[in-house]
Chains A and B, each alone.
Chain A
Amino acid sequence: MNIRAVAGNARAVPLGLGRRGLLPNFYDVVIFIFIAAAFVALAHGVREMEAPLAKLDLAPVTLDPAQLPEYALRTTVRMFAAILCSLLFTFVVATLAAKSRKAELVIIPALDILQSVPVLGFLTFTVAFFMRVFPGSELGAECAAIFAIFTSQAWNMAFSFYQSLRTIPADLDEVSRHFRQSWWLRFWRLEVPFAAPGLIWNTMMSMSGGWFFVVASEAITVGDVTVKLPGIGSWLALAIERKDVRAVGLAVAAMGIVILAYDQLVFRPIVAWADKFRFEQTAARDRPKSWVYDLVRRTRLVRVIFGAVSSIAATLALVRLRVSARRRPPISRQGSRAADALWLAVVLAATAYALWFVVAYVRTELGIADVLTAGGLGLLTLTRVVVLIAVASAIWVPIGVWIGLRPWAAQRVQPVAQFLAAFPANVLFPIAVAGIVSWRLDPNIWLSPLMVLGTQWYILFNVIAGASAFPTDLREASTIYRLRSAQWWRQVILPGIFPYYVTGALTASGGSWNASIVAEVANWGDIKLKAAGLGAYIADATEAGDYPRVVLGIGVMSVFVVVVNRLLWRPLYRFAERRCRLD
């Protein structure tokens, strides 16, 4: 994908930041309690069933290179299954939020918080839950893995779709109503196309994050049960167990090939095709290109197939679902006061119950001391995230600016940066861990960089996008007035790329919190390295099957992420929008 397209897309509002208000509102608090209650209920339910988790009788994973292509394929299939689920979720839930005010009040804060929850923590519950649903079958473990990936992907996609639906241009909305399109036709002709660019960008971002989770979710230990689904993640786990450096290298190579292939074969064609959905009335400057897409357009057979598919789609879009726009009164988002009051009462009652449920559960298992411990470890992890993002920024901002201002360099580096962002860093962990072990380094310090190993690239490619979008006339002006280096950085380029930087750093920091769960504890054969932090706390609790501590750890981490978002990123983002916009 080319730089300008990225530049345009990178400016999409990150989840939740475009909204007003820094302080949590009533619904944020309510939703937080609900989510906590859901965790507790799940943990509680799993524990109640005394039976041990059913053991799986899977074909054992081997380190035979001949098996690797199949493992890679299975990993990829899981990935796509999850992305389909996420799309379905997006279409249903985001549409509901955009059309119903009552649903919106609940769904939007829920998405906002769920995307801040460290989804790796979910794994514990989901594995246990799905293995109960499908006892003894591989399907349960597969579902758990797919669900884990889903939880890392769905929220920002849904949010992007929701935002698009809420910002449909008034005139197109009028045309749609004027010609009395049925809601079904309107969905496919107006809403989905309008939302497509943002949704595709977010899907790509989700995919990038998803590789990380697919690797983490294939080989998982909960209590005394270890599940190893055939895939690159399990291959890697086995390689670590056996201290097999060659196998780790093969996994890295396989992962690289898979990501390259999916980028070239799937996403680039989609981006090139979706270019026509970009909502602008001016002719495009340079359009995203894809050789696969060009090939498809030139090949007769493929075109015939695509033509048939699209005509079926067109016929489907024509299905006259009887709840047509004609029957409904003109769209109105106003509700009656009485209904609102009733809704509020229901929400309040349910919240009170959920709160009681959470407190009751936590109090029987854990004391204040545990909360304080988790909080203290959270501060340690927070320190790591802050320091690492600062270090990554200090390194990548100057480099990104240098590259972005030189189109020839940007053209070459940008795809690499995006590739690196998509590459699941946990595949590289064993190499780093082997290094730490052999040089006897302090894990408290040297495990930390693993947290930003995969996420720092978001900073790089956003800064590159920002610098390449920086207007030429402003650059020329600063050259003519011979701005000195310090002044140039302070008054010209840093404000110029600031909105992009905030987007990148926000993504990077969110990803780092998540990564801490796998980065603060690392194994190499029988050697176990551990850094003190909240991530390690959650990882340990997961391994021990200690549900209350997992709930506590996730809860504390969510609070940290939400608070940092509200107090740091949201004000920064609004400042950037207000002061540093160049368009």
Chain B
Amino acid sequence: MDAATATAALVEIDHLSHVYRKGGASDVPVLDDVNLTLKDNEIVALLGRSGCGKSTLLRIVAGLMPATSGGVAIEGQRVTAPAAQVAMVFQSFALFPWLTVLENVEIGLEAQGIALDERRQRALAAIDLIGLDGYESAYPKELSGGMRQRVGLARALVVHPKVLLMDEPFSALDVLTAETLRTDLLDLWCEGRMPIRSILMVTHNIEEAVLMCDRILVFSSNPGRILAEIKVDLPQPRNRLEPNFRAMVDDIYARMTARPSGKPGREGLFPGTGIAMVLPRVSPNLLAGLMEVLAAEPYNGHADLPPIAASLHLEVDDLFPIAETLQLLRFAEVEHGDIRMTDAGKRFARADLDDRKKLFAQHLVTYVPLAGHIKRVLDERAGHHAPASRFRDELEDSMPEESADRTLRAVTSWARYAEVFAYDEDSGVFSLENPA
């Protein structure tokens, strides 16, 4: 009883699942049985890769979309419509370009029907707090990204929410601007100057999560479920170079690259199985580039992911798809935050362009089911032609239209590189002949 009142749950997410419905054909699970309690006075990160449903979860909490099953309660009240106790900061800033900074900040108050004088007074206070003094009459298009996100923050704070929801608030900013804004926000938070009680933020940046949050919930993809809950009790302000900080980042990397238990090596890397596997669009140049870097000094075919990500200036969301495509093609193994090249991968890195293409072709047809399928169909047909729509329809039976398109384009680009089959954009036809 005592414990319950002391750490009153601000947000309670209870057995929440969400399914993306696609015209009744097949349902794609997005979130699976998520449970989460957000308490007073804490910053919690939802950390995961793009497409793991963490942004969807945030929108469900905000009351912008309904969950398929389970529910969200804020201060014991079930959320069925946009809730008054929360305010959201958007990745894209989501400012109205035709309103000035001041008017943008006022928009939430205006919707509440608050009189002009009070509106203005509160908005000016928020603008002052967030360091936007002097920009009141500017239009968003006149501001830099960092300043725009400050407007987004002021707009959220001015309605005095209890919970601040942030959807990748810094990922559209350059490195320097993002760091300044993070520090400023943390300062305000630590000094207790913001009229909020907790922050729930979505991010795919591991270091950002460790830097800012008290708790990190690591999400797995397809469907999104909570893989691990990590408590960060490093004192603020935190130092990125400190060994404890590094250890924690490494640990999270390892968890995010861990194989789903009970599944053999390559299954479960990408959602779906067989030809219905949803593939990321990764350019063959990136694949070859990463293999070259890995094969060379100082890695010699084996590397830790965090340093390689840092040295290549790649974010988790950029690096993981490349690494996992290499794994799918059996050119590398990814596990526990490490990447290790296979023999085939090393051969590829040493080979010249023609041999690379031959090796790539071989692996593509063998290990990527959709590529093998298209090749077989083309081989069997008398004219060695097949319309792309045939395969697209097949894919759309088991995945959303958008994923089907991406998957087909990914395979097409790999096949073009490997010269396994050709695709004519004008007619939308796959064929075995290469243009003369």
List chain A positions with a Cβ less than 8 A from chain B. Answer: 169, 171-172, 174-175, 177-182, 185, 189-190, 193, 196, 276-284, 318, 320, 325-326, 329-330
Known A-B contacts A179-B108, A185-B110, A282-B141; the reply to A276 vs B98 at CB < 8 A is yes
Q: Flag whether B153 is at the interface (Cβ < 8 A).
A: no
Stretch of B61-69, B244-252, B297-305 that contacts chain A? B61-69
Known A-B contacts A175-B94, A180-B82; the reply to A330 vs B64 at CB < 8 A is yes
Task: Report yes or no: B159 in contact with A179, Cβ–Cβ below 8 A.
Answer: yes
| Chain B 53-96 interface 0/1 with A at a Cβ cutoff of 8 Å (1 = within) | 00000010011111000000000000011101001101111101
Choose from A185, A284, A325 the contact partner of B82 (Cβ within 8 Å). Answer: A325
Choose from B82, B98, B142 the contact partner of A177 (Cβ within 8 Å). Answer: B82
Task: Report yes or no: B111 in contact with A180, Cβ–Cβ below 8 A.
Answer: yes
Task: Report yes or no: B141 in contact with A174, Cβ–Cβ below 8 A.
Answer: no
Q: Which residue of A lies closest to B81 (CB)?
A: A326
Task: Report yes or no: B98 in contact with A280, Cβ–Cβ below 8 A.
Answer: no
Q: Flag whether B140 is at the interface (Cβ < 8 A).
A: yes
Known A-B contacts A178-B64, A326-B82; the reply to A279 vs B88 at CB < 8 A is no
Q: Which residue of B lies closest to A334 (CB)?
A: B21
Known A-B contacts A174-B90, A330-B65; the reply to A179 vs B107 at CB < 8 A is yes
CB-CB nearest 5 A-B residue pairs = A171-B94, A179-B108, A181-B111, A193-B98, A179-B111
> How many chain B residues touch the partner (CB < 8 A)?
33
Task: Report yes or no: A276 in contact with B139, Cβ–Cβ below 8 A.
Answer: yes
Contacts of B107 on A, CB cut-off 8 Å?
A: 175, 179, 181, 189
Q: How far apart are A27's CB and chain B's nearest CB, in angstroms? A: 20
Whole-angstrom CA separation of A171 from B91 in the bound complex: 9
Q: How far apart are A198's CB and chain B's nearest CB, in angstroms? A: 14
Whole-angstrom CA separation of A280 from B139 in the bound complex: 11
Q: Which residue of A lies closest to B104 (CB)?
A: A175
Task: Report yes or no: B81 in contact with A330, Cβ–Cβ below 8 A.
Answer: yes
Q: How many pairs of residues, A versus B, come closer than 8 Å at their CB atoms?
A: 84
Q: How far apart are A309's CB and chain B's nearest CB, in angstroms? A: 16
Known A175-B90, A282-B141; 16 more pairs at CB < 8 Å: A174-B88, A175-B107, A178-B82, A178-B88, A181-B107, A181-B111, A182-B111, A185-B111, A189-B99, A189-B110, A277-B98, A279-B97, A283-B142, A318-B113, A329-B66, A330-B65
Main secondary structure of the interface of A (DSSP, over half): loop
Whole-angstrom CA separation of A283 from B147 in the bound complex: 14
Show 26 A/B contacts (Cβ-Cβ < 8 Å), sorted by A: A169-B94, A171-B90, A171-B91, A172-B94, A174-B64, A175-B90, A178-B63, A178-B82, A178-B88, A179-B112, A182-B111, A189-B96, A190-B96, A193-B96, A276-B98, A277-B98, A280-B97, A280-B141, A281-B140, A283-B142, A318-B110, A326-B82, A330-B63, A330-B64, A330-B65, A330-B81
Contacts of A281 on B, CB cut-off 8 Å?
A: 93, 97, 140-141, 148
Q: How far apart are B166's CB and chain A's nearest CB, in angstroms? A: 13
Q: How far apart are A21's CB and chain B's nearest CB, in angstroms? A: 16
Q: How far apart are B248's CB and chain A's nearest CB, in angstroms? A: 32
Contacts of B94 on A, CB cut-off 8 Å?
A: 169, 171-172, 174-175
Whole-angstrom CA separation of A280 from B64 in the bound complex: 25
Q: Which residue of A lies closest to B108 (CB)?
A: A179
Q: How far apart are A506's CB and chain B's nearest CB, in angstroms? A: 23
Q: How far apart are A287's CB and chain B's nearest CB, in angstroms? A: 11
Q: How far apart are A338's CB and chain B's nearest CB, in angstroms? A: 15
Q: Which residue of A lies closest to B145 (CB)?
A: A281
Task: Report yes or no: A284 in contact with B141, Cβ–Cβ below 8 A.
Answer: yes
Whole-angstrom CA separation of A179 from B62 in the bound complex: 10
Q: How far apart are A398's CB and chain B's nearest CB, in angstroms? A: 28
Q: Which residue of A lies closest to B59 (CB)?
A: A174
Q: Which residue of A lies closest to B100 (CB)?
A: A276
Contacts of A326 on B, CB cut-off 8 Å?
A: 81-82
Whole-angstrom CA separation of A278 from B94 in the bound complex: 15
Contacts of A177 on B, CB cut-off 8 Å?
A: 64, 82
Q: Which residue of B lies closest to A172 (CB)?
A: B94
Contacts of B65 on A, CB cut-off 8 Å?
A: 330
Contacts of B111 on A, CB cut-off 8 Å?
A: 179-182, 185
Q: Which residue of B lies closest to A193 (CB)?
A: B98
Task: Point out which of A174, A181, A325 has the most chain B C-beta atoms below 10 A from its C-beta.
Answer: A174
Task: Report yes or no: A276 in contact with B82, Cβ–Cβ below 8 A.
Answer: no
Task: Report yes or no: A277 in contact with B113, Cβ–Cβ below 8 A.
Answer: no
Contacts of A178 on B, CB cut-off 8 Å?
A: 62-64, 82, 87-88
Whole-angstrom CA separation of A329 from B82 in the bound complex: 10
Contacts of B108 on A, CB cut-off 8 Å?
A: 179
Q: How far apart are A336's CB and chain B's nearest CB, in angstroms? A: 13
Task: Point out which of B87, B97, B148 has the most chain A C-beta atoms below 10 A from its C-beta.
Answer: B97
| Segment 351-405 of B: residues with Cβ below 8 Å from A | none
Contacts of B142 on A, CB cut-off 8 Å?
A: 283
Task: Report yes or no: A278 in contact with B113, Cβ–Cβ below 8 A.
Answer: no
